[in-house]
Homo-oligomer: A and B are copies of this chain.
Amino acid sequence: MSLSSVESRWPEHLAPAKELDNLLRCGICFDYFNIAMIIPQCSHNYCSLCIRKSLSYKAQCPTCCVAATEPDLRNNRILDDLVKTFDSARSHLFQAVMDSSSSPPAA
């Protein structure tokens, strides 16, 4: 996933969209959720692979330290849908903002 490659390109205009972007990222790998899993005890979310690896080292949520094991994990599929849709919306937004701010290049 190279979705994160444009992370630094959010125009100032779109600061709140950048916040949305942050919410859709895994706290372990900092990339967008990839097969998002929720820890039902604490409501924190991670990529499936990231949290399984983490729990195999230490049986707790990496954010809030609540006790957790692999069988506790549940899919949080709406996050996968949100990541997909957000990625598409972002391309369109950039286009819209670029269009709106496109003044003729300085000579």
Taking beta carbons and an 8 Å cutoff, which residues of A are in contact with B?
13-17, 19-20, 23-24, 38, 40, 43, 45, 74-79, 81-82, 85-86, 88-89, 91-93, 96-97, 99-101
CB distance from A60 to the nearest CB of B (A): 18
Interface of A is mostly: helix
Q: How many copies does the complex hold?
A: 2
- Whether A23 touches B78, Cβ cut-off 8 Å, given contacts A40-B40, A93-B17, is yes
Closest 5 CB pairs of A and B: A100-B100, A16-B89, A40-B74, A43-B77, A16-B88
Q: Which residues of B contact A76 (CB under 8 A)?
A: 38, 43, 76, 78
- Whether A45 touches B78, Cβ cut-off 8 Å, given contacts A13-B96, A96-B14, A96-B97, is yes
